[in-house]
Structure 1
Amino acid sequence: MTPEEIADLAHLRRARDLMDRDYAQPLDVPAMARAALMSPSHFSRKFAAAYGETPYSYLMTRRIERAKALLRQGMSVTDTCFAVGCTSLGSFSSRFTEVVGRTPSQYRADDHTGMETVPECVAKLGTRPRRRRAS
């Protein structure tokens, strides 16, 4: 790797850390690109090449990951939607269903008692949303 590529990865990691930390804040590609010290289009291309998904997709995966935890705790779907930084209940539900394979209401109604004794760090790995490929 060239020194420039290493520097780009460090800047991309800064933007990814921003998404991980501030997922509930209103973040858009220009804001994420500023954190990476790149133009929005350059940032989007570099991020997708480095992490295998677009910045928006990565952010939504983090939001859905947190939403799953809140729904397991019994929070309402509407409150969960806004708590994770989504502004549209319909868009949140559609994306949640696309990623998880169940609606937020169905997921919330599932029996999650087996997860109560699992350490949070393990639960996070086991319940991490996986993007399903369209066939």
Structure 2
Amino acid sequence: MDLALWIAAGLLAAVALLGGITKTFVPRERLAAHRGGEWTGHVGAGFVRTLGVLEILAAAGLILPAVTGIAPVMVPVTAVCWILLMAGAMVTHGRLGQYGLVLLNLVYLALAAFIAWGRFVLEPFTG
């Protein structure tokens, strides 16, 4: 189970890092021109960039605390925060009729729920 949780955290961290880098460094107008990024045209650039930074921090929070042994409880806490972020993403994409993206966000949410449950209950980090 520990290996499955590490793999799940690694996959979710990669998703968060890629999304975070994109939202942080790609101009909002360019994001809005791509499928799935239309929502960025309805919000401020600062909001998009803030979400990007939060996603980069989530990527770090899913991996670094466990690797360094410094506050490893932050791994499942970060996963719970990701669940909240994905709930918001699902609402946003749902309002725009992007149901495929809602489903993708649901997959990410389920992965985060698995990590949170696994690290809080099944295989918590000790020490």
User: Which structure shows the bigger proportion of residues in helix conformation?
Assistant: 2
Structure ID, larger Rg:
1
Structure number with greater CO (CA < 8 Å, separation at least 6) is 2
Q: TM-score, normalised by structure 2?
A: 0.28
